[in-house]
Homo-oligomer: A and B are copies of this chain.
């Protein structure tokens, strides 16, 4: 029997701390050296991302490729994403495919099988709850069958997140209603670490909500974006951890993988420094 996703994530966080490195390649941000060596953008994305995995490995055990940037390059970009996910797996990273998928019935099933089957073979996937329980269930079922996990969007890190997420439902914000469902979906998936396979995305840019949601979902893994380039600090994300130090992975994308100008010959050292600094700050 394969280890539960939640326990693999717990082991990863115990081993190298809660830093999750987001892999968001952009052509115009890539080092010139990579662009020159790989004039084909998809090949450059692949080479840069795989180099970044190697550089951050001592400081992070979780990585999160962002599907949108690979999709922008079309089928070749998606092939690069597949290679990056495979390279991350080969290095022992826990992978989160950040694709924010959401659809109904057999369509949700197709996305879930793509994520957890041989197509992308990701350890976990971000999903959008707006379509309701029967739209989320195919993802939960496929995750369970393959010992994988999901992270459901609950409170996102963007400034305008509140437009719908903060609307009051029975006196409390909508995101609390979503959190309550996530906690209930998670309950039957608890691993030995005491946490489950149904996680939640909760932005670090709203520290009060983060503390509130940690309490509302005590057994739920939180994926916390917004640290670093988006403005949240290590102090802002403290509320995301449980008292046992588990319970959250904190994502930084640009802050770790693009702390340089494209013409900087020392870009590799700068990624190492940025990953080390983030890792120390978050511990």
Contact = CB atoms under 8 A, between A and B. Distances in A.
Contacts of A82: 74-75
Contacts of A132: 156, 158, 160-165
Given A75-B75, A78-B78, A156-B104, A165 B68 contact: no
A260 interface: no
A268 interface: no
Contacts of A181: 163
A153 interface: yes
A111 to B, nearest CB: 5
How many copies of this chain does the complex contain?
A: 2
Interface stretch (A51-59, A123-131, A190-198): A123-131
A267 B184 CA distance: 45
Contact of A167 (B103, B107, B120, B177): B177
B107 A68 contact: yes
A177 to B, nearest CB: 6
Interface in A157-215: 157-165, 167-170, 174, 177-178, 181
A177 B165 CA distance: 11
A110 interface: yes
A224 to B, nearest CB: 14
Given A129-B130, A134-B160, A135-B156, A69 B110 contact: yes
Contacts of A78: 71, 74-75, 78
A70 to B, nearest CB: 9
Most chain B beta-carbon neighbours within 10 Å: one of A103, A106, A174: A103
Interface of A: 24, 26, 66, 68-69, 71-76, 78-79, 82, 100-108, 110-111, 113-114, 117, 119-120, 128-135, 153, 156-165, 167-170, 174, 177-178, 181
Given A72-B117, A130-B165, 18 more contacts: A68-B108, A72-B113, A74-B79, A74-B82, A74-B119, A75-B76, A128-B130, A129-B130, A130-B153, A130-B156, A131-B156, A131-B158, A132-B160, A132-B162, A135-B158, A164-B177, A164-B178, A167-B170
6 contacts: A72-B111, A74-B79, A100-B103, A130-B165, A134-B159, A169-B169
